[in-house]
Amino acid sequence: MEEQRRPTPDVASLMESGVPKASGRLSNGGQAIALAVHACMVHHGFHALAPPGAKAGWSLWAGVRSPYTPPSMWEVDGGLEWLCMYKSPSGRVLMLTTSLHGGGSGRVLVHALEGPHDNPISVKMLGLNLQRYFAQGSAQLAAAPSWAHTLTQGDALADMMYDEIVRHFLTGGPPPVAAAAAVAVAAAAAVAVVVLKRRSQTQS
């Protein structure tokens, strides 16, 4: 049975709870829409999972204590991709990636994958246009005092996230998988974390 849909959230307020705009930690459109996507997931009961071997407090940025705060190492691929693992209210585990197409096109792909990358159990995708939700230039967005001053059509974004991504993973429990497949899932997650850390070290 499908869970009863929660009311459409005030996405800007949830973003502010996770990473206050005034903190200056996130300042460009790609980071902004990735945070908005994360806020929609958490609003519907998804919990960000700690990567294998992560230390306590892995997802808490200094001064921020909120379930809407994304993992501190979520940005990869030179600032064009944001990655997070989630557990649904029914126990399903998925890897969600928000990717910004380079070259200034503003195209964004939200990709949710359940199971090993080479043999997924379930995959859902959503295409977005950055300018529809964050139309300001980089300087204007960075200077805005709050996410409410930058996000437009937040209700539309939240509805699309629910219809195309969230709803699918809210239904039912974890699909039955063989032990070998379960190991593959864990291995795929571990590899993703290693890649993430290496990219982060390269950028620093």
pLDDT in tens, 91-129: 899 999 999 987 778 899 999 999 877 778 899 999 999
Confidence bin at 130 (pLDDT 50/70/90): very high
Q: How far apart are CA 47 and CA 41, in angstroms?
A: 8
Nearest to 43 by CA among 92, 20, 10: 10
Please indicate whether residue 164 or residue 75 has the higher confidence score (pLDDT). 164
C-beta of residue 93 within 8 angstroms of C-beta of residue 185: yes
CA neighbor of 171 nearest in space, from 86, 92, 111, 87: 92
DSSP 8-state symbol, 164: I
CA distance linking residue 39 with residue 48, whole number of Å: 11
For residue 180, what pLDDT is reported?
41
Most confidently modeled range among 49-63, 92-106, 190-204: 92-106
Band (pLDDT 50/70/90 cuts) for residue 183 is very low
Calculated CA dihedral for residues 38, 91, 113, 188, nearest 10 degrees? 110
Q: Where are the alpha helices (DSSP H) in the chain?
A: 11-18, 29-43, 130-133, 138-143, 154-161, 167-170, 179-203
The pLDDT value recorded for residue 62 is 53
Inter-residue contact 141 to 29 (CB < 8 Å)? yes
